[in-house]
């Protein structure tokens, strides 16, 4: 498999007036093309920081990050963050507009994504006319518009209610697989991580170190909702839950 | 439409009629009471005037004292100070927001300036800017600027942090973030600050006119006091109330149109 990125011995410290806080300590892992990897860990353990460092929005203290040449990240945030004064289509084109890549082909590409994922008739509406789940899908299209190699998903479903959450994670999973993207997702929801990913990285409480990495094996590959019924689901759930509950 | 719905609409309508009727009753009652109290000398008619005398005085001012000219002067000064005030507060708020360190540096001075009664600067302004319209506008600016800056700046500061992060994920430049996020996202706050600004501006203009002017409503009031013509003072105040009410309504109307 084609390796897209590898992180070795990454650490991050925060400095306050009175103390130095070690947020991330000695983390190493790699990401391969086409993979869906989830990172789980207690809240506030530095998961988001890790993503921010990867995408150059924060700085690392020590360690190495090796990226494949010209690797492009696409970031999907916790909230759908739509600009209320712009139409849905213009919201989806925002990244292209800012990066000055709003070409005819790219606009066409985005419009096709809308059609493909059943949002065509909502293109010219304003965000507040859409449901939370729809807006989340638009947010994904906005991210895909930049044709990223790796999708970074930071708790992408946490602001949705439970039912839409299941539905949207199914939708998002399908879209990501269909577009053949690699994804790195941060979540605190174990079931979500196990049902959607190929690999789950379990982080500890602060300072955040890797506790375990699980390659998720299933009897049959399906959508996240189907995967929840898989025989091994409970087994992984139990393992990861114990990882998170019991400290060394 | 169902019967319940009709009843509901009727109820709303009835409430509206009650409110308007009482508003008119209060106004008319106040005027009648004022007239009677003054006529039977229960309040001193020389000091408190009366509605009939106010109307007479306004007529007289209109015919012999160029009342329209005075009103236009005040309106003109208010308009200039208002537009200048809004534009300057907008620009200054952007600068303070974009250069946080600058904001930290000037913060105590802004607070000081904000708590200082601006009228105390009046004599100084006259000496610096001269006894003319310029002084009046400077006075009005002193009063509307700080409030304007603070309300627009707060609008900038209250922008959803997630939206700011979104722009960061796109590696947006500061200029892009400013024009595509900061300004459009605070549109509502900026528009709402207009209402506060117009009343502040009018306060400043009248204060300025008290200090220096040769015309305007503030001048009429101060002139009336000096020659002990309290009918003129009362008339000036009445006209001022009407004008400030109309200005406020105009701004509210514009605000409604812009926020649609």
| Position B93 confidence tier, pLDDT thresholds 50, 70, 90 | very high
Residues in chain A: 248
CATH number of domain containing B136: 1.10.3720.10
Both tokens of A228, joined, read 């929840």
For the cut 60, the answer to whether the pLDDT of residue B158 exceeds it is: yes
Give residue A198's pLDDT.
86
Neighbours of A243 (CB within 10 A): 19
Are B84 and B173 found together in one domain?
A: yes
CB pair distance less than 8 Å for A81 and B168: no
Encode pLDDT of A140-183 as tens digits: 899 889 888 888 988 888 777 888 788 888 888 888 888 888 99
Are B20 and B133 found together in one domain?
A: no
For the cut 90, the answer to whether the pLDDT of residue B118 exceeds it is: no
Neighbours of A210 (CB within 10 A): 17
Quote the domain boundaries for residue A91.
Answer: 3-14+55-231
Are B86 and B193 found together in one domain?
A: yes
- H-helix or E-strand spanning residue B43: none
| Position B182 confidence tier, pLDDT thresholds 50, 70, 90 | very high
Alpha-carbon distances, residue B191 vs A60, B83, B126, B140, B251 (angstroms): 42, 13, 32, 19, 9
Give residue A170's pLDDT.
85
Residue A190 lies in a domain: yes
Residues of A in contact with B171 (CB under 8 A): 98-99
Give residue A247's pLDDT.
61
Are B250 and B184 found together in one domain?
A: yes
Nearest beta carbon to residue B166 from set A81, A85, A99: A81
Are B120 and B233 found together in one domain?
A: yes
For the cut 80, the answer to whether the pLDDT of residue A231 exceeds it is: no
Contact indicator for A37, A31 with CB cutoff of 8 Å: yes
* A139 to chain B: closest CA residue: B166
Are B189 and B157 found together in one domain?
A: yes
Encode pLDDT of A86-104 as tens digits: 999 999 999 989 988 888 9
Are B22 and B101 found together in one domain?
A: no
Are B27 and B80 found together in one domain?
A: no
Residues of B in contact with A83 (CB under 8 A): 163, 181, 184-185
Nearest beta carbon to residue A98 from set B165, B170, B185: B170
Per the model's pLDDT, the better-predicted residue between A196 and B87 turns out to be B87
For the cut 90, the answer to whether the pLDDT of residue B140 exceeds it is: yes
Residues of A in contact with B180 (CB under 8 A): 94, 97-98
Residues of B in contact with A126 (CB under 8 A): none
- What secondary structure letter does DSSP report for B159? S
For the cut 80, the answer to whether the pLDDT of residue B185 exceeds it is: yes
**Beta-strand relationship, A20-32 and A3-15:** antiparallel
Mean pLDDT across chain A: 85
- What's the mean pLDDT in A214-228? 79
Q: Rounded to an integer, what distance in angstroms lies between the CA atom of residue B224 and that of residue B213? A: 14
Per the model's pLDDT, the better-predicted residue between B23 and A242 turns out to be B23
Encode pLDDT of B20-75 as tens digits: 999 999 999 999 999 999 999 888 888 888 999 999 999 999 998 889 999 999 99
Both tokens of A196, joined, read 């959607």
Are B27 and B82 found together in one domain?
A: no
| Position A248 confidence tier, pLDDT thresholds 50, 70, 90 | low
Give residue B22's pLDDT.
95
Quote the domain boundaries for residue B122.
Answer: 51-259
If you count residue pairs, one on A and one on B, with CB atoms under 8 Å apart, how many are there?
Answer: 37
Residue A25 lies in a domain: no
Query: A117 φ, ψ to 5°?
Result: -105, 25
CB pair distance less than 8 Å for B181 and A83: yes
Both tokens of A27, joined, read 């983390």
Residues of B in contact with A75 (CB under 8 A): 169
For the cut 80, the answer to whether the pLDDT of residue B76 exceeds it is: yes
Q: Considering its fold, how many domains does chain A have in total?
A: 1
Are B94 and B163 found together in one domain?
A: yes
CATH number of domain containing A88: 3.40.50.300
Nearest CA among A219, A208, A217, A218 for reference residue A243: A208
- pLDDT-above-90 percentage for chain B: 59
Give residue B147's pLDDT.
87
Are B115 and B170 found together in one domain?
A: yes
Q: Rounded to an integer, what distance in angstroms lies between the CA atom of residue B163 and that of residue B181? A: 8
- pLDDT-above-90 percentage for chain A: 7
Mean pLDDT across chain B: 90
Residue A116 lies in a domain: yes
Are B161 and B244 found together in one domain?
A: yes
Closest Cα of chain A to B167: distance in Å?
A: 8
Q: Considering its fold, how many domains does chain B have in total?
A: 2
């Amino acid at each position: 498999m084609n390796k897209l990125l590898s992180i070795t011995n990454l650490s991050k410290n925060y400095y306050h007036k009175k103390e130095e806080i070690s947020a991330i300590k000695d983390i190493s892992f790699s990401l391969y093309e086409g993979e869906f990897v989830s990172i789980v860990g207690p809240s506030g353990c530095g998961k988001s920081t890790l993503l921010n460092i990867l995408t150059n929005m924060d700085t690392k203290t020590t360690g190495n990050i090796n990226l494949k040449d010209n690797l492009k990240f696409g970031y999907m945030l916790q909230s759908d963050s739509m600009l209320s004064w712009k139409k849905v289509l213009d919201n989806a084109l925002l990244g292209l507009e800012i990066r000055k890549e709003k070409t005819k082909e790219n606009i066409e590409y985005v419009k096709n994504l809308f059609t493909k994922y059943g949002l065509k008739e909502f293109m010219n509406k304003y965000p507040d006319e859409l449901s939370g789940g729809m807006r989340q899908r638009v947010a994904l299209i906005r991210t895909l518009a930049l044709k990223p190699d790796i999708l970074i998903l930071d708790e992408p479903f946490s602001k949705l209610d439970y039912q839409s959450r299941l539905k949207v994670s199914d939708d998002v999973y399908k879209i990501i697989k269909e577009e053949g993207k690699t994804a790195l997702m941060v979540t605190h929801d174990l079931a979500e991580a196990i049902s959607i990913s190929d690999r789950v990285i379990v982080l500890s409480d602060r300072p955040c170190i890797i506790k375990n990495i699980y390659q998720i094996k299933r009897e049959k590959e399906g959508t996240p909702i189907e995967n929840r019924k898989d025989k091994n689901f409970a087994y992984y759930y139990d393992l990861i839950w114990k990882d998170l509950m019991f400290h060394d | 439409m169902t019967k319940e719905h009709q009843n509901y609409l009727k109820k709303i309508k009835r409430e509206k009629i009650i409110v308007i009727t009482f508003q008119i009753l209060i106004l008319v009652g106040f005027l009648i009471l004022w007239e009677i109290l003054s006529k039977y000398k229960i309040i001193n008619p020389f000091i408190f005037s009366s509605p009939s005398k106010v109307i007479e005085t306004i007529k007289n001012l209109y015919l012999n004292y160029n009342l329209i000219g005075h009103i236009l002067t005040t309106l003109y000064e208010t308009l200039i100070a208002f537009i200048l005030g809004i534009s300057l507060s907008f620009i200054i708020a952007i600068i303070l927001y974009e250069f946080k360190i600058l904001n930290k540096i000037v913060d105590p001075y802004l607070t000081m300036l904000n708590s200082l009664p601006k009228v105390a600067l009046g004599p100084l302004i006259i000496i610096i800017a001269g006894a003319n319209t310029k002084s009046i506008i400077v006075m009005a600016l002193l009063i509307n600027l700080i409030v304007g800056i603070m309300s627009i700046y707060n609008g900038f500061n209250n922008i959803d942090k997630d939206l700011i992060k979104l722009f960061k994920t796109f590696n947006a430049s500061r200029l892009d973030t400013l024009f595509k996020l900061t300004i459009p996202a605070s549109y509502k706050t900026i528009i709402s600050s207009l209402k506060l600004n117009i009343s502040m501006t009018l306060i400043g203009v009248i204060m300025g006119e008290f200090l220096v002017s040769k015309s305007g409503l503030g001048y009429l009031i101060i002139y009336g006091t000096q020659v002990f013509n309290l009918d003129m003072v009362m008339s000036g105040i009445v006209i001022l109330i009407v004008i400030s009410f109309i200005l406020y309504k105009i701004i509210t109307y514009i605000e409604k149109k812009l926020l649609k």
